[in-house]
Structure formats: C-alpha cells, structure tokens
Copies of this chain bind each other. A is one copy, B any other.
Amino acid sequence: MALKIKRIAIDTHPENTAFLLRRRNGYSPEQFVALRKIEITGGDASILATLALIDDESLLEPHMIGLGEQAFRRLGLPEGAEVTFRQAPVPHSLEHVRRKIDGDELEETEIAEIIRDIAGYRYSPMEIGAFLVACAGFMSTHETLALTRAMAGVGRQMHWPSEIVVDKHCIGGIPGNRTSMIIVPIIAAHGLTMPKTSSRAITSPSGTADTMEVLASVDLPEDRLVSIVAKEHAVLAWGGRVNLSPADDVLITVERPLRIDTFDQMVASILSKKLAAGSTHLLIDIPVGPTAKVRTTREAIRLRKLFEYVGHRLGLVLDIVVTDGSQPVGRGVGPVLEARDVMAVLRNEDDAPRDLRERAVMLAGRVLEFDPALAGGKGYARAMELLGSGAALAAMERLIDAQGRCREVILPGSHVHDICAPAGGTVMSIDCHLIARIARLAGAPMDKGAGIDLLHKVGDRVRADEVLYRIHAHSPTGLEYARELAVASSGYVVG
C-alpha cells in the first residue's frame, strides 16, 4: 500500500528515522515494531530507516509516513510523494558477523559484504558495534588487508594523470601539529602532485581542514578540486565532500563513542582513504609519547609493520617515520592560532615556532624523496631551499587564491585567561590530552578563534607566576568552561 511522505523536522543524525501510526490496517503488527528497520521505496530511490511508532493522529495521518530530516534528505523525494515500505530484510552479512563473534576468521568476500552493507546504512549502530568489538584484537593481517580493500572499494575512486601522487598522514593526537599546511606548499613548489584531503576535528581542537578554512575555502566540489590540482599540483581540501570512504564515515560514528581505535581499524581507515584518493606514495607520521595515541616505540613498530603489510599488498609505496609526540607542536592550538603559526613558518618569520618548522621540513624532505631525482637523502636540503626562498609561501598563496581566499579575518578569541606557573622551575611535561580538552571547551574548532596559545614548552625555564599559556574564547561561557578545567589540571608539570 502506498503512503504519502510527510517531512518531520526531527534530527536523529546519523540514523534515518521513519514514523508510522501504530494503529493502521493492512500490515501485521508483529512485523513492524519500534526500532526495527524498514525499507522505504519511491520510484528509483530507496532508503532504510529505523521505525518509530506514533499513537497520535494529530502528528501523522493514517495514509502518511513521516520521515525525519536525515531520512527525508537521503530519500530525496518531495513531501506528498508516494512511497511503499516493507520490513527491511536482515542483511545476510550479519551471519558473517555472528561467525566473527564466534571467533572465526572471515574470508575477503565476507568482509566485503559486511562493508557494503555498513556503507549502505543497512546496519544499526548496535550491529556495527558488534562487528567492531568482535574484530577488536582478533583480526588477522589477512582480514585487515581485506577490510582495507573493501573500504576503499565502496567509495569514490579518484585518478590523477601523474605517475607519482604523494600524500602524508599523521596518526594524530598531538595538538598544534599542523605540518601538512607547510608540507603541501613545499611539495607543490617542487612540482610533485599532492592532492591532500583532510578531515575536520572529531575529538581534537582542530583538524587540518578546520585550520586551512581560516585562510581559504576547503569545501570544494570534486571538479574544482581536480582543476586546482591540475594547475597548482596540490590542494588542501576537506575530504568529507568527496565520499572517499563512506564505510569509514559510518564506522566512525560507532568507534568514537565506544573509543575503539585498534591498529587494524586505524590502518584500514587511513589506507582505504588514501587508496580511494588515488595516492601512490604515502608518508605516515607516527608520533610517540606518553599522552599521544601511540605510547611506546614498541607499539609504533607493531603499527608500522601492519601499515607495511597492508600497504605493500595494495601497491602503495610507504615511508613510515616515528616522531617525537611528547608535547604539542608549535604555539597555537585551535584553527586561528594554528593558521598564524603555519603562516609564520612559511613567511620565515623570526619568531615562527621552530619545532613546527623543523618537523615540517623533515617530513617534507621525506615526501620529496619519493621523487626519484631526490631519492637517497636529498629531500631535506631541497625542502629547506623551497621554504627559505619563499617558493613554498608563493605556492601557498596560489593555493589559497585557487581555493577561494577567506575575506573575513578572524582574530583569536577576545575573552582570554592566562594560566601561570605555580612556582619557578623548568617545564617538565605537557599533557597533550588535557591541552586538547581545554581548547575544545574554549570552543575550538567550532569557534575558529578559540584555543590555546602555548607561551612555554618542555625544557623552558619559567619564573613563578609567569604565563604558561593563554586561553582564547569567543564567549564568556566557553572561557569559563575551559578556565575551570585548566585551573583544576593545567596539563603542565613545572619542576
């Protein structure tokens, strides 16, 4: 029986929700119960949605089916359009998930089937969670390889005319670590192809896309992205627009709340995206530190081996570098403050953060060595040259103009609070987690100018009451949230 669509302005992101009156004739009540999935079809369009039952005819008439915001948008039909629905078939691939729960190793085709269903929104968060937990710690390297291939296979596949397409990825977790925005212009100035798509912050105070957005538009349709790369060799865009790994986009909505970040998922997530983005050569930066994602060199080596196992079998040339992740990089934490640091480095300003500069040049050098002409140790000097000569800055300015220069200048948030040293001494350590949390409470990354300006780093000598860092916020509430945590736990140990 056909029902007419009614849009219901209820947001249940990331899930699709559909609403039906409970008391209708023509379908068995056994079949349609709350929170089950139904499949809604109209014309060529079809979506799966979670069912909520309505008892009140003033909300919905019997001949209607209500669609929440996500469902309405994803189905893409107008209000009043006729649709039919049926109980969603249980995805057959859940049988594979059940076998994985029982401890079996899955075949490549089975993992591919699971990933297709997840990317097609055919799994509930509960079912995704079951798959992820069943895999956590119990994936063979074969399975991780199959997972990576499957995840790359369901999204958009990009192709580039160049033979060498380079990329770099940092495992993350280090506030202020915005090296990509320095590396990309250096590589572009050299002339290698580096179409860099980045994520926005998920749990951090800023992602590369958030920081770049302070300077230029990053939400670029694919055709513009392609034409910018054709002209400038590079781009610094937000990857969310390109749909490179739709399965990863769904998985992450469950990994985050459950805090599942196994090496297997990490490798599959990163390499599947790079593969889909058309990269051929990839530098991976693994920062190691007591408050970083990877805590020991031993762990870093295990992760490196897994990257190599999967990457090589997928035909990627990998260079993996383990770096110091013991404290934040640069001075600024948060989009505006980080963009300031990046531009200071590119402009060769005297007070540009040296650690950010040094790290970016070192990594850019490794990327440059993917160029056969520079292989074997000539990358570093070439990176230095391109940065020092202003060629990298010029490349960055061209990229900014090509992507669309941000007209509005955003300043660091005007509500500030200084966190001072309780006593004189040396900064012994800085907790990356805490600094990130404080910056987020201040409003980063949503409030672009919110964040933290680190005035002292590990090894600096400070006097009692000297300012360790300054919190910036756009609102008094944000400042208060951040101040409260910073006063309780500043993240600095001075000894």
Contact = CB atoms under 8 A, between A and B. Distances in A.
Interface of A: 8-15, 17, 19, 22, 28-30, 33-35, 52-56, 59, 68-69, 98, 101-103, 124-130, 132-134, 136-137, 254, 257-260, 440, 443, 446, 477-478, 481
- How many copies of this protein are present in the complex? 2
Contacts of A130: 129-130, 132-133, 258
Given A133-B129, A257-B126, A12 B34 contact: yes
Contacts of A137: 101-103
A449 B69 CA distance: 42
Given A30-B446, A69-B55, A129-B133, A10 B19 contact: yes
Contacts of A125: 124-126
19 contacts: A9-B55, A9-B59, A10-B19, A10-B52, A10-B55, A10-B59, A11-B22, A11-B52, A11-B55, A12-B34, A12-B35, A12-B52, A13-B35, A28-B478, A30-B443, A55-B69, A101-B260, A125-B125, A127-B129
A477 B28 contact: yes
Contact of A101 (B11, B133, B254): B133
Contact of A126 (B28, B68, B254): B254
A10 B54 contact: yes
A314 B68 CA distance: 49
Contacts of A132: 130
Contacts of A259: 98
A478 B15 CA distance: 32
Most buried by B among A8, A9, A28, A124: A9
A279 to B, nearest CB: 31
A370 B95 CA distance: 43
Contacts of A22: 11
Nearest to A33: B13
Given A125-B125, A126-B125, A130-B129, A13 B28 contact: no
A117 B54 CA distance: 28
Contact of A133 (B10, B19, B124, B133): B133
A30 B478 CA distance: 11
